[in-house]
Structure 1
């Protein structure tokens, strides 16, 4: 796992076209992540680490990353969608939700429901404040991201429509809602059969073109932070 993180960390943060010229590049990337995490609230910290682990998993399953984990605009997490991926010529929008160890009643169904509703609100323009498509477009055309002309043109048109309040329907999109639960001393592996039944029951009335649901149990974020500080 550590080796896999080492092989992907720099590219998740900077984009797949950002070459590693020396070991110093990886050290800088680790420090940038440390700088991002430190001084954040507990909720923000678990959110950052949970999202990173999910990106690791998606990349290992042949989802091609078309965004940077780092924010282009400020020293915080990016606004808009948590990610945009391409797999088999289909693009997916991704949203991550996570729960603190102290949240005793947290469930994957609860987090997935929250992630789906956030995606729906962003896509359909409910309480529209920030244009999520403009942010996705800005990431898609960055030189460090593998350029895909069709994706960039689509994102630009969606952004233009969004500004003009011509909103889309989530029914037409491929989506990835994810849930990460931190359990600490209560850690237990997921009962996959039970989870599948619960998730299928939850999503049977959801609207989407295609959906991939990602659920992860973790002990804590400390091992990842220890790794960054090595």
Structure 2
């Protein structure tokens, strides 16, 4: 198994304000390079059989304009698809609103012998949720997704049920450190340190509940 902490440090995280068609939004961005060519990374991101091996089982129509659903997680619509460079989808955790209020965009560019991946999640977040958790609410989850993709592209993967994986000490430490790194990114974006500390605590408790 690859060093999970090393995988965390491979990612650059930023937090900003932005917009979606529905209006003002929060933006979290993750960027890292994988030791695989763009065609392979694109295939891992778009082939349902491969997606299930590093993220979650997915159903639906993964073509432009199609609707997809991840098992027990988000669903949405494929808004833009420019193989093998750019993918834009809506990211809906509940019923879709009248306008796109949550969008995930993934961009791929060659980087030496590898591929630079940039994932940007722009979403309208309820004020009470942002005040409690900050960017870590979604950021820790995306860190886990990029970790899963890294393991898959390297021919590795975590084994066991979701509960068994979540209880693994290395995964717990990964999630704790991810929450801290999202706090650092939030503070770098101008957030109050006291608020950041409270956000990190709440996010850590959510992803790594006390025994």
| TM-score interval for Structure 1 and Structure 2 normalised by the shorter chain | 0.3 to 0.5
TM-score normalised per structure 1: 0.31
Q: Where is the strand percentage greater, Structure 1 or Structure 2?
A: 2
TM-score normalised per structure 2: 0.33
